[in-house]
Chains A and B, each alone.
Chain A
């Protein structure tokens, strides 16, 4: 795929490689080496935090080291993690999407109501839900790219619009898990459990890990992925280099909406029921931004990786579970996550300095 890409991409790629080489030449000593490694692989920071946290929490409460507990953390971060992939894509373009959680909840409601209110087969309702997600994402992207509105404002608006539409359309009614299981089992597909070597996991975990792998590959190794970085790094330069930035932006927001749809489907599997009052509608955006930021993705765009976001989401999950198993008050979790956010950005700034 890379071989037949156009020449302007080559220039983008070559230029980035040169920058790294130049930076290596300037630095020396132990700190300099760390600088260099971290600059090349910013996700190493959250990775080290996770490894240390796992060791410490396990020493406090051995239950933490059980395979079951670790698999449980993956289930717990899966939904925010998929929202995080969507959020990461948007933030890499120097945007932000405040509507991801609201889209998720609204899509669960759409999938549920098409199945139960209109009697459409669950499989088709799922496709309709995914399409609705892509459409909502497209609307966000269109307003950002064509109307030139700031992403924060656009999605602040659509967040409220989608959330309100969700409550109105659903009449605030919860669809019960028992009913879904009996009549629309496909909706709960990702909640099914399988076990490998004694560890139990849900299909939802597989979906999460696969999406991380696929989107990470697309971002790092395809022309489209490099365009996404280029738009976020310097929109004008990208345009001059021949990238259709408006098109890329709209595509990114649309894909983000589609990812919210997948997250919605996974969420139905995890929770069993469909509830328009789900708290993800209100805090899903902040949770996903937290994962992105701890994962070392720059809010100014153009930098960071999906692997980083994955580790960021995992960090939050590891701390939540670990602190609770250690018997700490829940507020300590939020306090520590706050510290992690600020620490992550501080480290990010330090790493950025060298890239000058």
Chain B
């Protein structure tokens, strides 16, 4: 139900911004700066921004880095937008700490800066953050895995964690810690993954969020313990790599619970095919769409977007996708997930 509530809240916010936008008619311009152009997640984001830009009569320019860590191109993009008199900037920061100076100058110049998907540190470097609650995304997957195993199964589980990289970016920490918390594992420092003392965790490794990395990480962890039966993966590509590793190493992947987070179309299809058992879906289209609408409102009324109640960012919602629903954990079906997916 919590999921439905967040989606409902987003829809309500959407309706409010839509009506207020009718009032404005002067020219408003916005920039969307993503990490890369090729990742389907950002393609979907761009789609959402373009949709909203047309509806709201906002002139939209889009920019991106050449690869995931290319913050230099993002700084250039911010400067270009400011020079061109943009009213607002939507950005998924590649290396948030490296963009603080540029974002500060943009805000000093009176530009509304909204972080999409990836928060800055501290989060108020940007005027507002529109993002998935990644802790909640992980928690849903963890709670589902626990309920699926049942009381006794959960007590004897052997868990493998497939994370992003050793730098422990926030998004990976939140998903991992959310999963562990949802599974009922006691967390130590919630800002780090891998420091839990629970013996049920066989180990944590890094996957770079892709199938090659997921496979290698799973191989490493299976070498520690062949009997792993719960896998938390940072995203579906890493999860599918883990599935390949189990097949190759003689573990029947069907006996293992594999969960992911993200909700891209290939990932949801993996859930359909039974490779992944459940995944938490996020909504990039909504992030960008709400972002453009917030810029329109800001340009018309000077009003800045407000965070979701009880959080320090605007939660764009998350839903667990599985065809094996369990009591106490809200979820949507694969068919529904496929309608909302991206990529």
- Chain A residues near B (Cβ < 8 Å): 61, 63, 66, 68-69, 72, 75-76, 171-178, 191, 270-273, 275, 277-280, 282-283, 320-321, 324-325, 327, 329-331
Measured CB to CB, the closest approach of chain A to B66, in angstroms, equals 7
Q: Which residues of A contact B69 (CB under 8 A)?
A: 275, 277-279
Known: A173-B167, A191-B101, A327-B61. A271 touches B72 (CB 8 A): yes
Q: A76-B76, A329-B62 are in contact. List 13 more A-B contacts (CB 8 A).
A: A63-B84, A172-B166, A174-B98, A177-B100, A177-B101, A273-B97, A277-B69, A279-B73, A282-B67, A321-B80, A324-B80, A325-B83, A330-B64
Q: Is the CB of A271 within 8 A of B98?
A: yes
Q: Which residues of B contact A175 (CB under 8 A)?
A: 97
Tell me the nearest residue of chain A to B81, going by C-beta: A324
Q: Is the CB of A272 within 8 A of B98?
A: yes
What are 30 A-B interface contacts by the 8 Å CB criterion?
A63-B83, A63-B84, A63-B85, A69-B83, A72-B80, A76-B79, A172-B165, A174-B95, A176-B121, A177-B98, A270-B75, A271-B71, A271-B102, A272-B98, A275-B95, A277-B69, A277-B71, A277-B95, A278-B69, A278-B98, A279-B71, A279-B72, A282-B67, A283-B66, A320-B76, A324-B61, A324-B63, A324-B77, A330-B62, A330-B64
4 shortest interchain CB distances as A-B pairs: A272-B101, A277-B69, A279-B70, A273-B98
Tell me which of B97, B165, B167 contacts A177 (CB under 8 A): B97
Q: Which residues of A contact B121 (CB under 8 A)?
A: 176
Q: Is the CB of A174 within 8 A of B97?
A: yes
Interface size range on B against A = 20 to 34
The CA-CA distance from A276 to B165 in the complex, in Å, is 14
Tell me the nearest residue of chain B to A178, going by C-beta: B100
- Judge whether B267 is part of the interface by a CB distance below 8 angstroms: no
Q: Is the CB of A275 within 8 A of B71?
A: yes
Tell me which of A176, A278, A324, A330 contacts B71 (CB under 8 A): A278
Residues 51-64 of B, flagged 1 when their CB comes within 8 A of A and 0 if not, give 00000000001111
Q: Which residues of B contact A68 (CB under 8 A)?
A: 83
- Judge whether B37 is part of the interface by a CB distance below 8 angstroms: yes
The CA-CA distance from A272 to B175 in the complex, in Å, is 29
The CA-CA distance from A175 to B95 in the complex, in Å, is 11
The CA-CA distance from A295 to B71 in the complex, in Å, is 26
Tell me the nearest residue of chain A to B82, going by C-beta: A72
- Judge whether B138 is part of the interface by a CB distance below 8 angstroms: no
The CA-CA distance from A61 to B75 in the complex, in Å, is 21
The CA-CA distance from A275 to B99 in the complex, in Å, is 10
Q: Is the CB of B80 within 8 A of A325?
A: yes
- Judge whether B65 is part of the interface by a CB distance below 8 angstroms: yes
The CA-CA distance from A135 to B105 in the complex, in Å, is 36
Which residues B72-131 have CB closer than 8 A to chain A? 72-73, 75-77, 79-80, 83-85, 95, 97-102, 121
Measured CB to CB, the closest approach of chain A to B28, in angstroms, equals 15
Q: Which residues of B contact A278 (CB under 8 A)?
A: 69, 71-72, 95, 98
Tell me the nearest residue of chain B to A323, going by C-beta: B80
Q: Which residues of B contact A72 (CB under 8 A)?
A: 79-80, 83
Measured CB to CB, the closest approach of chain B to A199, in angstroms, equals 12
Q: Which residues of B contact A321 (CB under 8 A)?
A: 80, 83
Which residues B242-278 have CB closer than 8 A to chain A? none
Q: Give the one of B37, B75, B97 with max A CB within 10 A.
A: B97
Q: Which residues of A contact B71 (CB under 8 A)?
A: 271, 275, 277-279
Q: Which residues of A contact B75 (CB under 8 A)?
A: 270-271
The CA-CA distance from A75 to B72 in the complex, in Å, is 12
Tell me the nearest residue of chain B to A170, going by C-beta: B167
Q: Which residues of A contact B61 (CB under 8 A)?
A: 324, 327
The CA-CA distance from A283 to B98 in the complex, in Å, is 17
Tell me the nearest residue of chain A to B77, going by C-beta: A324
Q: Is the CB of A172 within 8 A of B100?
A: no
Q: Is the CB of A275 within 8 A of B70?
A: no
The CA-CA distance from A170 to B237 in the complex, in Å, is 28
Q: Is the CB of B101 within 8 A of A271?
A: yes
The CA-CA distance from A76 to B76 in the complex, in Å, is 7
Q: Is the CB of B100 within 8 A of A272?
A: yes
Tell me the nearest residue of chain B to A324, going by C-beta: B80
The CA-CA distance from A172 to B69 in the complex, in Å, is 12
The CA-CA distance from A55 to B63 in the complex, in Å, is 24
Q: Which residues of B contact A324 (CB under 8 A)?
A: 61, 63, 77, 80, 84
Q: Which residues of A contact B79 (CB under 8 A)?
A: 72, 75-76
Known: A278-B72, A280-B72. A273 touches B83 (CB 8 A): no
The CA-CA distance from A331 to B36 in the complex, in Å, is 12
Tell me which of A178, A191, A279 contacts B66 (CB under 8 A): A279
Tell me which of A191, A270, A273, A277 contacts B100 (CB under 8 A): A273
Tell me the nearest residue of chain A to B61, going by C-beta: A327
Measured CB to CB, the closest approach of chain A to B215, in angstroms, equals 22
Tell me the nearest residue of chain B to A327, going by C-beta: B61
The CA-CA distance from A273 to B120 in the complex, in Å, is 13
Q: Which residues of B contact A61 (CB under 8 A)?
A: 84
Which residues B21-72 have CB closer than 8 A to chain A? 37, 61-67, 69-72
Tell me the nearest residue of chain B to A68, going by C-beta: B83
The CA-CA distance from A230 to B80 in the complex, in Å, is 42
Q: Which residues of A contact B165 (CB under 8 A)?
A: 172
Known: A72-B79, A176-B100, A283-B66. A330 touches B37 (CB 8 A): yes
The CA-CA distance from A171 to B168 in the complex, in Å, is 11
Tell me the nearest residue of chain B to A176, going by C-beta: B97
Tell me which of A66, A270, A277, A331 contacts B83 (CB under 8 A): A66
The CA-CA distance from A222 to B197 in the complex, in Å, is 68
Q: Which residues of B contact A282 (CB under 8 A)?
A: 67
Measured CB to CB, the closest approach of chain B to A279, in angstroms, equals 4
Tell me which of A69, A172, A272 contacts B167 (CB under 8 A): A172
Q: Is the CB of A330 within 8 A of B97?
A: no
Q: Which residues of B contact A329 (CB under 8 A)?
A: 62
The CA-CA distance from A171 to B37 in the complex, in Å, is 28
Residues 141-180 of B, flagged 1 when their CB comes within 8 A of A and 0 if not, give 0000000000000000000000001110000000000000
Measured CB to CB, the closest approach of chain A to B45, in angstroms, equals 15
Residues 9-26 of B, flagged 1 when their CB comes within 8 A of A and 0 if not, give 000000000000000000
